[in-house]
Structure 1
Amino acid sequence: MTTALRTGRRLVMTSLLIAAAVGCAASGGTDGAGEASCVYLVSYDGRTYSDVANVEFTVGEELGTATIPECDDTPNNPGDTVPERTITAYEVEGMDRAVAIAVGDTAAEAILMQVR
């Protein structure tokens, strides 16, 4: 693959990631307040990533372990807290890990995550 083609692919993928981020917005309720819910975030290598939908990608090599933070979106309901856990992080072919990674229990189940 030529350098120009790789650069073009990276620009397209970066543009798609940015478009996906801009297109995602929380909707508010009738009183103007948004509903409580945990956003799917992971931490890896000092960065926080959020999930991206509807973007094709190829999972690369295993990078290590990412952390999914604890979530308590219903603080008045004891016992509803989802504890912190870990998940495997993978590189995304053609993407810098400072921009995007994939996470999943297996490479086949991995989902795309972009840095916030």
Structure 2
Amino acid sequence: PMYQPQPNRGNRFFAWIRSSRITRGRNRWIAGVCDGVARRLGWNATLVRALVILTSLLFGAGAAFYALAWFLLPDEMDGRILCEELVNGHWDWNCAGALVCAAVAL
């Protein structure tokens, strides 16, 4: 069954994110962001991973994008969004991973 979020003021924002149909996929190296983006765009996941690594090394933007996507995109397996969980007062250790990615981007 799909995860059912608790009602809050940000439901419209998270509903809008879910309506984009981009999820963090199951083919994961870290959090599944590249797999989800690749499937949505119809690209190869390896190409998306290479682009994220390249932009991370050259500009840091790839790591920032990855951290933001990890934090905001729903998980394909259970539909949970880390940011929504945090807003609702539920800490998940995956949030620490997203924060580490954001720190790398800085």
TM-score of the superposed pair, with normalisation by structure 2? 0.28
Larger relative contact order, structure 1 or 2 (CA cutoff 8 Å, min sep 6): 2
1 or 2, which has the higher helix percentage?
2
Computing the radius of gyration from Cα coordinates, the structure with the larger value is: 1
TM-score of the superposed pair, with normalisation by structure 1? 0.26
